[in-house]
Every structure is written in C-alpha cells, then in structure tokens.
Chains A and B, each alone.
Chain A
Amino acid sequence: QKEVEQNSGPLSVPEGAIASLNCTYSDRGSQSFFWYRQYSGKSPELIMSIYSNGDKEDGRFTAQLNKASQYVSLLIRDSQPSDSATYLCAVRPPGGSYIPTFGRGTSLIVHP
C-alpha cells in the first residue's frame, strides 16, 4: 500500500517567517516528488518538483529530498499571507506507473 503522510495542520506562522512543510512516503523506490499548492475551492497548482537527493530552490521555495529517510519537505521563506493555502505532497512510484499518490495536505496560515 503506497502511503504519503502529511501533518494536516494547520501550521500557523507569522508573516516573514520560514514555513516548513513535511511529507513522508512509504514506497522506497519512488523517484518523483511534487509539491502542489491549493487555495480553498480552487484546483491544485504545481509549485516544485524534485527527483534527486538534496535541495532544489525556486524563488522563496526550497524543496528538500532525503530518499534514505523517505522524507521530502518544502520550505517557504519570507512567508506572505498570500501563501496561506493547503500544500499537497505527491509521490510518483517507480515502475512506470502513472498514478501519483497524494498526501492529504497541510493547511498553512500566514498571519500578518
């Protein structure tokens, strides 16, 4: 059973702080990892994808992957109220299967 676990939150951080969102996965052979942002009532939109161990930075966002620990995280620097949303972690298993498994999401609240 493929599982992707996220803390449902809400995670509350003050404006300007670093928000840290975490995700663990059960399928050790997974190769592709994604973070989506979803505003209430809207569709998910991709923020970051990461495939190799280490860090990947894009603007205020940094994705971190540790395959040995089966752990992927998303850091949001200088958090803004507009970052308030649910963040979904998705993991694509190995073997060519197209089916990504989504975590249940972490709700982030950035307060002024």
Chain B
Amino acid sequence: EAQVTQNPRYLITVTGKKLTVTCSQNMNHEYMSWYRQDPGLGLRQIYYSMNVEVTDKGDVPEGYKVSRKEKRNFPLILESPSPNQTSLYFCASSFSGQETQYFGPGTRLLVL
C-alpha cells in the first residue's frame, strides 16, 4: 500500500529535550515536506526537500532541522524543543514535477 508514515503519532516531552519525528514514504517520491498546523493559522511549511541531500527552508524553519540521506526518509529534528513548538505536524511527499502531495497521518506534539 502506497503511504506516508510518521512516528511517533503522539509525543509529550519537556523543554530542551531533543527529539526526532520520523517520516517515511514508499512511493519513490522525490519531494518531501514538513508542515505544522495550529488552530487559526492553517498549514505552514517548515522545510522541504527536492531530493537526497537537497533541502530548503519553508515559512517557519526556526527551531527545526531536517536531513535527507535516503530518498524514502525525511526526519524532523527538534534539538531543543520549546512550548511554542507544541503543534500537529504533517509530513508530505510527491513526485518531482507532480502536484499532488500525499500526507502522513500526523504527529501531535506537546512540549511542556
């Protein structure tokens, strides 16, 4: 089954404790992205990647890091999480030049 998976789905952590949210797709997509969604603010892009080792900042990259060492994986790293990073996070992927983005199921993060 073609899909985008994210782990964990739910995470409660404390300020300053490094965490990684994994994202994996099995559709051989070149493009992958991370979004955060907050009430009243909609979906905002954090980082995106057009291929292995090629990443770029989105609209709200501060406090986040990404890496793309393999085509299928695009982890999101919060090196020192803060309460304002409490949010619902989505990973998405698409073919290069294709328009449709396929979203993962989301990761709900609470930073205390």
The residues in B between 38 and 53 inclusive whose CB is less than 8 angstroms from any CB of A are 40-45, 48, 50
A41 to chain B: closest residue by CB: B106
**Stretch in B66-74, B76-84, B96-104 with 4+ CB within 8 Å of A:** B96-104
A-chain residues with CB within 8 Å of residue B104 when the two chains form the complex: 43
Q: Is the CB of B101 within 8 A of A100?
A: yes
Complex: A64 Cα to B35 Cα, angstroms: 27
Q: Give how many A-B residue pairs fall within 8 Å (CB-CB).
A: 42
Which label, helix, strand, loop or mixed, suits the secondary structure of the A interface? loop
Measured CB to CB, the closest approach of chain B to A55, in angstroms, equals 18
A-chain residues with CB within 8 Å of residue B33 when the two chains form the complex: 98
B59 to chain A: closest residue by CB: A99
Please judge, given known A-B contacts A42-B106, A43-B90, whether A98 and B100 are in contact too, CB under 8 Å: no
Measured CB to CB, the closest approach of chain A to B72, in angstroms, equals 18
A-chain residues with CB within 8 Å of residue B101 when the two chains form the complex: 46, 100
Q: Is the CB of A98 within 8 A of B31?
A: yes
Q: Is the CB of A103 within 8 A of B42?
A: yes
Interchain residue pairs with CB less than 8 A apart (29): A8-B40, A32-B99, A34-B99, A41-B106, A42-B105, A42-B106, A43-B90, A43-B103, A43-B104, A43-B106, A44-B43, A44-B90, A44-B103, A46-B101, A49-B99, A49-B100, A88-B43, A98-B31, A99-B45, A99-B48, A99-B58, A102-B42, A102-B43, A102-B44, A103-B42, A104-B40, A104-B41, A104-B42, A105-B42
The 9 nearest A-B residue pairs measured at CB: A104-B42, A43-B103, A102-B43, A102-B42, A46-B100, A44-B103, A43-B106, A32-B99, A43-B105
